Structure 1
Amino acid sequence: MANFSKFGFILATLGSSIGLGHIWRFPYMAGSNGGGAFVILYLFLTFTVGVSMLLVDMIIGNRGKKDMVSCYEQLSPKPMKFWKVSAILLIGGPLILSFYAVVLGWIFYYLFVVSFDLPLNLDYSQAQFAHLRDNSLWWQILGFSVCLFLTAWIVCKGIKNGIEKLNFVLMPLLFIIFIGLLIYAMGMPSFGRAFDFMFAFHPEKINLGVIFASLGQVFFSLSLGVGTIVTYAAFTKSNENLLKSSLWVVIPGILISLIAGLMIFTFIFAYGGKPEEGAGLVFVSLPLIFGKMGLVGNVIAILFFCALIFAGITSTVSLLEPVVLYLINRFGFKRLSATFWTSLFVYIIGLLVIFSIDSHYADRLTFFDKSFFDWVDFVTSSILMPLGGLCSVVFLGWFLGRKKAYEFSKHFFGQKLFKIWFFIVKYIAPLVILAILLLHFK
């Protein structure tokens, strides 16, 4: 089995975590949850609970050297057949991919169509997005198909020739584009206001909703709970310094989130937009703001949507790979056939997602007041991802236990740091995940 290089593993894991969650979701979550209150909480929780859980997945994969389910079975102190049930959690990746690729298809549309026809008023911007979602069925299918085809092609190439090479190219390009956009934003008078909004800490804005929003963002932004990190870590050397690797993944990811937030809010404040506009920030507010910049806005729009596509593709690959590796290891599939059948499943679900948000078919694909799109999103983000995270921390903290966990991590942990980490893994992380689950079913 071909391994990642040390830098390749970091870039692949970073590519998995840096996606629409950092660049699209983080700014609108910060804007909707009090700005600095959300950001400070997010940073604190990332460096405590987030890093701890990321390390758990890395250790399980690094020591198991197989797909997620086989890692649990192989590392378990006693033969326990119920670990086979964890295979159900692997379906989360393809299900997320089914709507993630749809959203990425929208970004392709914005790059190639809207970037050259930027709106000059709010009504036109809203109409562009509404037209894409409600009346541009074939555009959506085309964008979705292109995204899924690229993802499947890269996964077919394997770890060294596909995933690692992709991230060696796209991750540096992503940072170059975003740093360039940040430098441009720093020259605008509204940058100071954006900086204050992002980092001024107002304790009175903290409430239960902001706390859980911060926790949810940590979970989403680190690709926890879908088998990605376990799968990628299976392709690393046994003596890998996973603590250092986890920090190399977390810190650049946070930087991209903060750069995206500063840049977007600088543009929003400069042109009278509202930071609490939610998910429409990228598809409604930003194109309008770019349109007011004239020709410079067209250039910035193209660069911005290119960066979003780069980030998105590296994440889509990581959502497909865990199931592909599972089919290869457990059922003897060739990589090509495993990729084909998994992609076909994703394609069928993705088409249903697209039809469920099209105005002509939405009624037929709405169940209990939720569209098919909403149901797929709910099942993955509210059930499968938290359960996947709970499974990994309970496995390491309660089944493997302190002695085995220290044996697996002593080459990069000191005694004191290990005790803090293990306490978080065994007690704090499970409580956090259970709280997230209960909040969604409240």
Structure 2
Amino acid sequence: MQSQSSTPRWSSEYAFVLAAVGAAVGLGNIWRFPYLAGQSGGGAFVIVYLLFVIALGIPLVMGELALGRQGGKSPVATMEDLQKKGHHPFWKSIGWVSVCLPLVTMGFYTVVTGWILDFIVRTLMGSFNNINADQSTEYFSVLQNSWAYMLSLNTGFMIILGIVVALGVKKGLETTVRIMMPALFAILVLMAIYSLATGDAGAALTFLFEPDFSKITFRVLIDALGQALFSLAIGAGALITYGAYLPQDVNIPKTAKVIAVSDTLVAIFAGLAIFPIVFQYGLEPSEGAGLIFVSLPIAFGQMTGGIIIGSLFFILLIFASFTSGISMIEPIVSVLEGKGLSRKKGVILVSSFCWFLSMLAALSFNILQDERPLGFIPFLAEMNIFDTLNFLVSAIILPFNAMIIAIFIGWLLSRKTLLEQFGYKETDMGWKLWSFSMKLLSPIACAFILLNVFFA
């Protein structure tokens, strides 16, 4: 088993923050956030989302980082050590769910990344110039039906991702995030500035920042809460794993706030980059998941410089997808290393499993389109493999794991350990607010998501 002394460390706090932000910043920020905001009334959704990030997201990030650094091992090994110290075996499920959840996520995440890779090439080739809505919809449908082509894109992505993870924490993860994360932020800011300058900035700013609170429904609350968890990679193993590589002199509360603020800014800037274009070209903000792959290509095909702007946008998505993909592979690889398997063999095993799942998800739009893997469950009866994986992760497994993490850390983890990890005193307001969130707010909020799934 991997010892704490053999655990790799980040070379600097800056490298860790980039990696942690990279784990959080992904397609959830740039693909999922805008279409959820569009479907949920814009500003009302944004306000609720921000409140959840502050009240629940930051405390949960702090808790996972503290748990990871205290254990100094993989999520599974950390929870096994805690069981030996007297905690019930049930809590080991935190470790296993935390490393298995990202594998399920990669099943549909890789498919979306394959779409993005294709759209980069097509945009550069000018394939979307002057296309209409019917043509854009037809193109996306043809792409989803091109199963052999999709599998080749998925395979290429998994190979490159596996190589980076196999290189290790410093040579692979650090080197990648040091390049990709600054580039991601730079492209996103430039796109937002361009979009606001050339698009309908007034309509976009009104839509995003002038909330109509009458639009806040129970569904909006659930979507905003789920997005806060999904966006910050809470319950997905990355924060516990990365926390294990974290030096003792790094301030966890400060770092958690930096991660949450950076992640939120990316989501907001994504909205500023997308919605001025949406309103300028008469597109529908409530388009849903197709906003990125059906609606925006129409706008890119009409605007001046659309080839450049469109290509930059999809490159931005690739960077976000890649840095998050690393954080999904790393937790289970760290477990396998701790069990005595070499890092390279662990990467090959994990990447192969993720590729297999992504293959099934990609085929669910064509060869396996009639398959309903969990059709015997009423609320999953109409979902194909891709939709089932997506739903299980975002609506069930993620909130369940976040809930039991909050309960365990808030109620059962040593208070002395947490105070030392946070640098707090019991009389500090920060400690009192964190305790209230972890013991009550976070478990109750996550339970609401689960109850909504089963009883809505």
| TM-score, length of structure 1 as denominator length | 0.95
The letter for the 2-side match of 1:122 is A
Figure out how many residues of one structure are paired with residues of the other and give that number: 438
Q: Which residue does the alignment assign to 1:352?
A: 360
CA deviation after TM superposition for structure 1 residue 188, in Å: 2.5
1:307-361 Cα offsets, whole Å, 9 max, x none, are 11011000011001100001111x2010001111111111111111111111x33
Q: Which residue does the alignment assign to 1:187?
A: 197
1:268 matched to 2:297 = no
Q: Which residue does the alignment assign to 1:166?
A: 176
Structure 1's 430 and 367: CA in aligned 2 closer, same or farther, altered over 3 A? closer
1:3 paired residue among 2, 9, 12: 9
Structure 1's 248 and 87: CA in aligned 2 closer, same or farther, altered over 3 A? closer
Q: Which residue does the alignment assign to 1:81?
A: 89
Q: Secondary structure at the match of 2:438?
A: helix
| TM-score, length of structure 2 as denominator length | 0.93
Q: Which residue does the alignment assign to 2:79?
A: 72
2:140 paired residue among 115, 119, 129: 129
Q: Which residue does the alignment assign to 1:218?
A: 228
CA deviation after TM superposition for structure 1 residue 408, in Å: 2.8
Structure 1 runs, 4 residues or longer, greater than 4 Å off = 364-367, 411-414
Structure 1's 411 and 75: CA in aligned 2 closer, same or farther, altered over 3 A? farther
1:110 paired residue among 107, 119, 122: 119
1:57 paired residue among 64, 87, 101: 64
- The answer as to whether partners of 1:241 and 1:412 remain within 8 angstroms in 2 is no
Structure 1's 413 and 322: CA in aligned 2 closer, same or farther, altered over 3 A? farther
CA deviation after TM superposition for structure 1 residue 412, in Å: 8.8
1:199 matched to 2:209 = yes
2:439 paired residue among 422, 426, 436: 426
CA deviation after TM superposition for structure 1 residue 71, in Å: 1.6
Q: Which residue does the alignment assign to 1:150?
A: 160
- The answer as to whether partners of 1:50 and 1:218 remain within 8 angstroms in 2 is yes
Structure 1's 339 and 413: CA in aligned 2 closer, same or farther, altered over 3 A? farther
Matches within 5 A, 1:254-333: 254-294=264-304, 296-329=305-338, 331-333=339-341
- The answer as to whether partners of 2:72 and 2:78 remain within 8 angstroms in 1 is yes
State the identity %. 34
1:239 matched to 2:252 = no
- The answer as to whether partners of 1:92 and 1:385 remain within 8 angstroms in 2 is yes
Q: Secondary structure at the match of 1:277?
A: coil
The letter for the 1-side match of 2:440 is Y
Give the Cα separation in 1 of the matches to 2:363 and 2:258.
40
Structure 1's 414 and 163: CA in aligned 2 closer, same or farther, altered over 3 A? farther
CA deviation after TM superposition for structure 1 residue 7, in Å: 0.7
- The answer as to whether partners of 1:353 and 1:372 remain within 8 angstroms in 2 is yes
Q: Which residue does the alignment assign to 1:138?
A: 148
Q: Secondary structure at the match of 2:86?
A: coil
Q: Which residue does the alignment assign to 2:379?
A: none
Give the Cα separation in 2 of the matches to 1:34 and 1:390.
27
CA deviation after TM superposition for structure 1 residue 143, in Å: 1.2
RMSD: 1.6
CA deviation after TM superposition for structure 1 residue 13, in Å: 0.7
The letter for the 2-side match of 1:307 is L
Q: Secondary structure at the match of 1:278?
A: coil
1:400 matched to 2:413 = yes
1:253 matched to 2:260 = no
- The answer as to whether partners of 1:109 and 1:139 remain within 8 angstroms in 2 is no
Give the Cα separation in 2 of the matches to 1:273 and 1:394.
43
Q: Secondary structure at the match of 2:370?
A: helix
Q: List gaps (5 residues or longer) in structure 1.
A: none
1:187-236 Cα offsets, whole Å, 9 max, x none, are 13511110110000221111111111110110110001111100001001
Give the Cα separation in 1 of the matches to 2:213 and 2:135.
38
The letter for the 1-side match of 2:355 is Y
1:15 matched to 2:25 = no
The letter for the 1-side match of 2:320 is A
Give the Cα separation in 2 of the matches to 1:45 and 1:439.
17
My pick for the range that moved more, 183-192 or 213-222, is 183-192
The letter for the 1-side match of 2:321 is G
Q: List gaps (5 residues or longer) in structure 2.
A: 1-6, 376-381
My pick for the range that moved more, 283-292 or 64-73, is 64-73
- The answer as to whether partners of 2:71 and 2:244 remain within 8 angstroms in 1 is yes
1:26 matched to 2:33 = yes
2:343 paired residue among 331, 335, 347: 335
CA deviation after TM superposition for structure 1 residue 88, in Å: 3.6
Q: Secondary structure at the match of 2:433?
A: helix
- The answer as to whether partners of 2:419 and 2:425 remain within 8 angstroms in 1 is no
1:362-418 Cα offsets, whole Å, 9 max, x none, are 124555132121222222222221122122111111112544422332259971110
- The answer as to whether partners of 2:74 and 2:241 remain within 8 angstroms in 1 is yes
1:130-160 Cα offsets, whole Å, 9 max, x none, are 11112x1122111111111111111101111
The letter for the 1-side match of 2:317 is L
